[in-house]
């Protein structure tokens, strides 16, 4: 039994097939990367896993239990947290309150939630911004807050959607360092990215998709050199 | 609760309790009682609309159900309408259950519209089932109490209860969840918040206390008809204006808003005659364009602005 | 059977005129993504303009309509430019403050009219307003027939305008994707202003056509706001054809409801349809529901 497994998941929007019969497994404690050009169906995979919309076909298993029938809010409850590509901060709440909103999943007590939030603020290096409203944070910090908030729900599996997109190299490095630290605490991570460089460095295994279909899967180096992947990224001439 | 808030609350309670010692004229007492009724409705609406962000254009339904629960007890069974103060809020809360199931399937402006339609349906139905409600002729009751002071203290008690319960809800896990839902429903879902359940947890107390205000209204005014208590403009829309004027998503905002709204309304009515509603409409537009989060809301924003400046200074060192 | 036939035909004719009002609303909703609760008040103001032309200048309502339309176009442009457009700059906790602003505008229009005309019921009686024509055994009001004819004429003209002219195409483009339209060089604040103007002018036209059939008083606006909403939701937001068909459905449902259920519950029929459609047929307005 694998930790997390998708079996032939498919999503159709009307006539358009966004994701087609995708299969993959994720091992506990590893970082699993999904790459692909824009519009290749990466975020759709996340939305299917986190039940933001129903699957057209296929099955998803987490720790041996089938989860593709659960309501969306249950997904977080069973231990799968997520972030959004277009960040969704709780705009008029402070950084601490944002994280507390996540922490309340595991406690009903305000003091405990606050304590948990403080821990996570330290872990993510957001100390300077504790009492600032989320709407006045710059984008890199909003992305960091998004991760912090998801961490507050004590996930065993974390889905990160384009955490490094739009960041400069220095910010990007900091984000990667944070992701590594999260992995070191034992959290399994699935990360979506279309920047190859980021993925190569941190992923244990990579799935490359285009037009919703698998084009390659394996160790980062194998995937990066796969002709189909090069074709998808750079065009026919380079393949 | 911070120390300053606590002091302000105690001061407020003292003033509210002592007012009847100084003001004895029935007219002034009447105005104060109206302020309290609106403060109750506004505080209830604010829980659902301000904190949870579910803007209801149909709160007249709950107000009317509460009012009729009290009125019908007397009309049909001869039971004292004061029992309606128990039955009314319960009836309104019960009515809110199916309404929540129906309307929370919709988001944003469409929720607002569905609530508007439901409120109107209640009005028309209550107008038409004459055998039960006496239709447009309304219900007249004989008040048992004539002293305005007693009504004042009862209303004040109801407002105190409403404020206390709302305060407790808002400052608990539920409150954090409600605001999260308002700020971003998708993010809230991703944090494991069952959004529909929590919206209902805001709607039920909101309906309950609006129903309480309705039941008190029947006892106090002693006459109700569907066009008064289920009125779209004069109840459903007015409560939103009261909250917007006073302060969206603040503890005291609706009470402040109710005070200003009733007093201004009286001033306009006595000085402007038939043009008073026109001026009121102009005021509505001005509020929305210039102080959209209400007087109390904008105050705390100003404070935050100042404290943020301090924070950034210390952050710089 | 005659009763049924007559009821349905009355419903269709009346629905045609309602749909003209609803098309104005759907246009505004589609382009600006706002809910305009002042729409009925604009209809009412248009009716008063036509009424004034008739009583004081002796102009027939069907001609007075062509005075009311430009007047309302102008008022609509002003409202959009100086009030609704300004809301973009206001930071509010509740996104629905836009709906409330239109409530405020509705109050100002309604009460402004009341200051001048009081709450009296007024009506326009022309030489032909009580005439009827007979189709078989069914009698049909002439004013309804003329009104329906004009409503269909305006609907077709609007359709031509939206599909054939540059301005019309810009409006449709803004309605589909405002950002994209702006990137393509569309001046969105001008477009929204003109759209609000056209929407208001159509409201005035619909109101003028209904003037011979309804008593006129300041609060009649609420009635039309409700009807226009139901139709817009029925037809799918932003769709002209949808609104035309939605208008007929509401007209027929109302007329059948009034004939066969009871006059008192007539309006409940519309409201119940409204909620059911909102819940179960969210096709046309998904964009707003899932913002």
Q: Does A123 touch chain B (CB under 8 A)?
A: no
Give the residue from chain B lying closest to A105, CA to CA: B192
pLDDT at C140: 81
CB contact under 8 A, B179 and A90: yes
Mean pLDDT of chain A: 91
Helices (H), A88-202: 95-103, 110-124, 139-151, 169-184, 196-202
Contact B180 A71 (CB under 8 A): no
Express each pLDDT in C27-41 by its tens digit.
888 888 888 889 999
Task: State how far the Cα of B280 lies from the Cα of B235, in Å rounded to an integer.
Answer: 15
- Give the pLDDT score at B174: 96
Interchain CB distance below 8 Å, B195 and A74: no
Work out the pLDDT band at C3, boundaries 50, 70, 90. confident
pLDDT-derived band at B308 (thresholds 50, 70, 90) equals low
Flag if B192 and A75 touch (Cβ within 8 Å): yes
Nearest partner of B279 among B290, B293, B289, B264, judged by Cα: B264
Average pLDDT estimate for B130-156: 90
Boundaries of every domain in chain C: 2-289
How many angstroms separate the CA atoms of B300 and B282, rounded?
25
Cβ contacts of B112 on chain C, cutoff 8 Å: 35, 96, 99
Task: Name the percent of chain A lying above pLDDT 70.
Answer: 98
Q: Give the end-to-end CA distance of chain B in Å, rounded to a whole number.
A: 30
Residue A36 has pLDDT above 80, yes or no: yes
| Overall average pLDDT of the A28-33 stretch | 94
Task: Encode pLDDT of B87-106 as tens digits.
Answer: 999 999 999 999 999 899 88
Q: Burial level of B221, CB count in 10 A (0-12/13-18/19+)?
A: middle
- Looking at residue B304, its pLDDT comes to 61
Four-point Cα dihedral C42, C44, C45, C49, nearest 10: 140
Task: Give residue A45's pLDDT.
Answer: 93
Q: Given this model, what pLDDT does residue C288 score?
A: 39
Distance from CA of C4 to the nearest CA of B (A): 25
CA distances from C259 to C5, C136, C163, C210, C249 (A): 12, 20, 39, 20, 15
Contact B192 A77 (CB under 8 A): yes
Which of chain B's residues have a Cβ under 8 Å away from the Cβ of A105? 191-193
Task: Tell me how close the Cα of B17 comes to any Cα of chain C, in angstroms.
Answer: 33
Write the residue in A52, A74, A101 that is nearest to B191 by C-beta: A101
- Calculate how close chain C gets to B146, using CA atoms only, in Å: 35
Q: In the predicted model, what is the mean pLDDT of chain C?
A: 85
What are the pLDDT digits (tens) for A198-223? 788 889 999 999 989 999 999 998 98
* CA–CA separation, A56 and B53 (whole Å): 32
Pick the CATH number of C2-289 from 1.10.10, 1.10.3470, 3.40.1340, 3.80.10: 1.10.3470
Instruction: State mean pLDDT over A186-207.
Output: 88
**Residues 286-315, chain B, touching A (beta carbon < 8 A):** 304, 308, 311, 315
Higher confidence at residue B298 or residue C122? C122
The answer to whether the Cβ–Cβ distance between C100 and B274 falls below 8 Å is no
Q: Which residues of B touch A149 (CB under 8 A)?
A: 187, 191
| C12 pLDDT above the threshold of 70 | yes
CA dist C261 and C268 (Å) reads 11
Q: What percent helix, strand, coil does chain B show, rounded to 5? A: 85, 0, 15
Q: Tell me whether B140 touches chain A (CB under 8 Å).
A: no
**In B129-147, which residue ranges form alpha helices assigned H by DSSP?**
130-133
Task: Give the pLDDT confidence score for residue C290 in this predicted structure.
Answer: 39
Reduce the secondary structure of C224-238 to three states and give it as a string. HHHHHHHHHHHHCCC
Contact B278 C112 (CB under 8 A): yes
**Beta pairing partners, A4:** A26, A62
Residue B281 has pLDDT above 50, yes or no: yes
- Most confident range (mean pLDDT) of C93-97, C133-137, C231-235, C249-253 is C249-253
Quote the pTM value.
0.88
Interior/surface letters C86-122, b for 16+ CB within 10 angstroms, e for the rest: ebeeeebbbebbbbbbbbbbbbbbbbbbbeeeeeeee
Name which of A72, A93, A149 is nearest B189 (Cβ-Cβ).
A72
pLDDT at C285 over 90: no
Residues on chain C touching B179 (C-beta within 8 angstroms)? none
Residues 6+ apart with CB under 8 A from C232: C22, C25, C26, C29, C243, C246
- B229 Cβ neighbours under 8 A, 6+ residues apart: B60, B63, B64, B67, B68, B214, B217, B235
CB < 8 Å from C in window 190-229 of B: none
Q: With 90 as the cut, is the pLDDT of residue B301 above it?
A: no
CATH code: domain A4-86+155-238 is 3.40.50.300
- For chain C, say whether B114 makes contact (Cβ under 8 Å): yes
Among B147, B155, B164, B157, CA closest to B37? B155
Measure B119 CA to nearest chain C CA, in Å: 10
Q: How buried is residue C85: exposed, middle or buried, by Cβ count under 10 Å (0-12/13-18/19+)? A: middle
Put simply, the answer to whether A90 touches B186 (Cβ < 8 Å) is no
Position C87 scores a pLDDT of: 83
Chain B positions touching A72 (Cβ under 8 A) are 189-190
Greatest mean pLDDT among A157-171, B53-67, C183-197: B53-67
B37 pLDDT tier (thresholds 50, 70, 90): very high
pLDDT digit string (tens) for C169-185? 998 888 888 888 888 88
Phi first, then psi: what are they for A162, rounded to 5°? Answer: 50, 55
CB contacts of C97 in chain B (<8 Å) are 244, 288, 292
Contacting residues of C for B98, CB less than 8 Å apart: none
Considering only residues C94 and B131, tell me which one the structure prediction assigns the higher pLDDT: B131
- Average of per-residue pLDDT across B12-32: 89
The residue-averaged pLDDT of C98-105 equals: 86
Quick check: A208 and A217 in contact, CB under 8 A? yes
Kindly determine whether residue A104 and residue B186, on different chains, have CB atoms separated by under 8 Å.
no
Predicted confidence (pLDDT) at residue C193 exceeds the cutoff of 60: yes
Query: What pLDDT does residue C39 have?
Result: 95
The predicted complex's ipTM stands at 0.92
Q: What is the pLDDT of residue C238?
A: 66
Residues 6+ apart with CB under 8 A from B95: B61, B62, B65, B207
- pLDDT value at B303 more than 70: no
Residues 50 to 69 of B: which have CB under 8 A from any C CB?
50, 53, 55, 57
Q: How confident is the model at residue B280 (pLDDT cuts 50, 70, 90)?
A: confident
What residues does each domain of chain B span? Answer: 26-235
Q: How many cross-chain Cβ pairs, A to B, lie less than 8 Å apart?
A: 83
pLDDT at B126 over 90: yes
Q: Which residues of A touch B180 (CB under 8 A)?
A: 90, 93, 101
So what's the pLDDT on residue C135? 73
Cα separation, C254 vs C264, in Å, equals 11
**B110 and chain C in contact, CB less than 8 A:** yes
**A113/chain B closest Cα distance in angstroms:** 9
- What is the spatial distance between Cα C60 and Cα C212, in angstroms, rounded to a whole number? 10
Mean predicted confidence (pLDDT) in A11-16:
86
Q: Report the alpha-carbon distance of residue C104 to residue B274 in Å, rounded.
A: 17
Pair A202, A168: CB distance under 8 Å: no
More confident residue, A110 or C133: A110
Q: Is the pLDDT reported for residue A145 higher than 60?
A: yes
Q: Are the Cβ atoms of B278 and C35 closer than 8 angstroms?
A: no
pLDDT of residue C123: 85
Q: Between these two residues, C124 and A98, which has the higher pLDDT value? A: A98
- The closest CB to that of B110, out of C87, C95, C289, belongs to C289
The pLDDT tens digits for C241-257 are 888 888 888 888 888 87
| pLDDT > 80? residue B307 | no
**Angstrom distances, CA of residue C225 to CA of C38, C103, C112:** 7, 11, 18
Can you tell me the mean pLDDT for A42-48? 92
Q: Whole-angstrom Cα distance, residue A144 to residue A156?
A: 18
- Among the listed ranges A140-144, B232-236, B276-280, which one has the minimum average pLDDT value? B276-280
User: Are B112 and C35 a contacting pair at CB < 8 A?
Assistant: yes
Which pLDDT does position B143 carry in this prediction?
Answer: 86
Chain C: residue nearest B232 by CA? Answer: C222
């Amino acid at each position: 039994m694998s930790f997390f497994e998708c079996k032939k998941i498919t999503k159709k929007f009307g006539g358009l097939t966004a994701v087609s019969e995708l299969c993959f497994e994720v091992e506990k404690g590893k970082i699993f990367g999904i790459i692909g050009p824009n519009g290749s169906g990466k975020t759709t995979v996340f939305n299917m896993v986190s039940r933001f919309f129903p699957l057209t076909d296929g099955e998803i298993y987490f720790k041996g239990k089938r989860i593709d029938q659960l309501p969306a809010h249950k997904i977080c409850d069973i231990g799968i947290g997520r972030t959004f590509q277009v960040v969704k901060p709780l705009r008029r709440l402070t950084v601490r309150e944002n994280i507390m909103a996540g922490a309340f999943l595991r406690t009903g007590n305000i003091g405990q939630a606050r304590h948990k939030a403080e821990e996570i603020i330290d872990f993510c290096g957001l100390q300077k911004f504790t009492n600032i409203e989320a709407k006045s944070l710059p984008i890199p910090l909003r992305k960091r807050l998004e991760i912090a908030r998801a961490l507050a729900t004590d996930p065993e599996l974390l889905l990160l959607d384009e955490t490094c997109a739009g960041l400069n190299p220095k910010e990007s490095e900091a984000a990667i360092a944070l992701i590594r630290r999260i992995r070191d605490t034992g959290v399994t991570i699935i990360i979506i990215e279309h920047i190859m460089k980021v993925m190569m460095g941190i992923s244990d295994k990579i799935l490359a998709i285009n037009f919703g279909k698998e084009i390659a899967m394996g160790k980062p180096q194998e995937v990066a050199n796969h002709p189909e992947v090069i074709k998808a990224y750079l065009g026919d001439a380079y393949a | 609760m911070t120390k300053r808030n606590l002091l302000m609350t105690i001061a407020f309670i003292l003033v509210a309790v002592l007012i009847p010692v100084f003001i004895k004229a029935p007219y002034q007492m009447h105005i104060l009682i109206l302020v309290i009724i609106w403060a109750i409705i506004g505080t209830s609406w604010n829980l659902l609309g301000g904190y949870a962000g579910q803007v209801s254009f149909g709160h007249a339904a709950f107000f009317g159900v509460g009012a009729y629960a009290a009125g019908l007890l007397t009309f049909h069974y001869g039971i004292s309408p004061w029992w309606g103060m128990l039955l009314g809020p319960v009836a309104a809360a019960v009515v809110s259950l199916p309404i929540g199931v129906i309307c929370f399937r919709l988001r944003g402006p469409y929720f607002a519209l569905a609530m508007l339609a439901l409120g109107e349906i209640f009005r028309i139905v209550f107008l038409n089932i004459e055998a039960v409600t006496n239709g447009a002729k309304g219900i007249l009751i004989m008040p048992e109490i004539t002293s305005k002071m007693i009504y004042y203290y009862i209303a004040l008690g109801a407002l105190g209860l409403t404020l206390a319960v709302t305060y407790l809800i808002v400052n608990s896990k539920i409150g954090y969840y409600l605001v999260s839902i308002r700020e971003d429903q998708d993010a809230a879902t991703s944090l494991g918040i069952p959004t529909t359940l929590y919206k209902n947890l805001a709607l039920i107390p909101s309906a309950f206390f609006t129903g309480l205000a309705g039941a008190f209204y029947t006892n106090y005014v002693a006459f109700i008809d569907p066009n008064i208590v289920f009125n779209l403009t004069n109840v459903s829309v007015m409560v939103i204006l009261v909250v917007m004027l006073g302060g969206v998503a603040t503890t005291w905002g609706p009470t402040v808003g109710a005070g200003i709204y009733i007093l201004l309304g009286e001033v306009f009515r006595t000085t402007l005659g038939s043009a008073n509603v026109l001026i009121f409409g102009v005021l509505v537009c001005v509020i929305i364009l210039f102080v959209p989060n209400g007087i109390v809301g904008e105050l705390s924003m100003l404070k935050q602005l100042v404290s943020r400046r301090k924070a950034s200074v210390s952050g710089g060192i | 059977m005659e009763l049924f036939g007559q009821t349905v035909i009355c419903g269709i004719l009346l629905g045609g005129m309602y749909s003209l009002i609803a098309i104005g609303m759907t246009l505004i909703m589609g382009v600006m993504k706002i809910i305009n609760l002042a729409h009925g008040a604009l209809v009412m103001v248009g009716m008063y303009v036509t009424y004034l032309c008739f009583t004081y200048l002796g102009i027939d309502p069907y001609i007075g309509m062509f005075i009311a339309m430009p007047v309302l176009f102008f008022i609509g442009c002003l409202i959009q430019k100086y009030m609704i457009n300004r809301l973009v700059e206001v930071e509010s906790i509740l996104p629905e403050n836009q709906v409330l602003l239109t409530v405020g505008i509705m109050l100002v229009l309604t009460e402004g009219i009341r200051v001048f005309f009081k709450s009296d019921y007024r009506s326009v009686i022309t030489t032909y307003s009580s005439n009827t024509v007979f189709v078989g055994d069914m009698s049909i009001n002439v004013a309804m027939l003329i009104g329906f004819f004009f409503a269909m004429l305006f609907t077709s003209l609007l359709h031509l305008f939206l599909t054939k002219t540059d301005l019309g195409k810009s409006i449709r483009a803004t309605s589909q994707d405002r950002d994209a339209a702006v990137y393509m060089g569309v001046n969105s604040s001008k477009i929204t202003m003109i759209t609000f103007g056209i929407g208001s002018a159509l409201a005035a036209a619909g109101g003028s056509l209904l003037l011979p059939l309804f008593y006129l008083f300041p609060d009649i606006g609420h009635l039309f706001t409700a009807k226009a909403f139901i139709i817009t939701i029925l037809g799918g937001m932003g769709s002209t054809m949808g609104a035309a068909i939605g208008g007929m459905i509401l007209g027929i449902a109302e007329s059948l409801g009034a004939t066969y259920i009871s006059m008192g519950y007539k309006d409940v029929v519309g409201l119940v349809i409204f909620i059911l459609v909102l819940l179960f047929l969210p096709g046309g307005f998904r964009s707003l529901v899932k913002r």
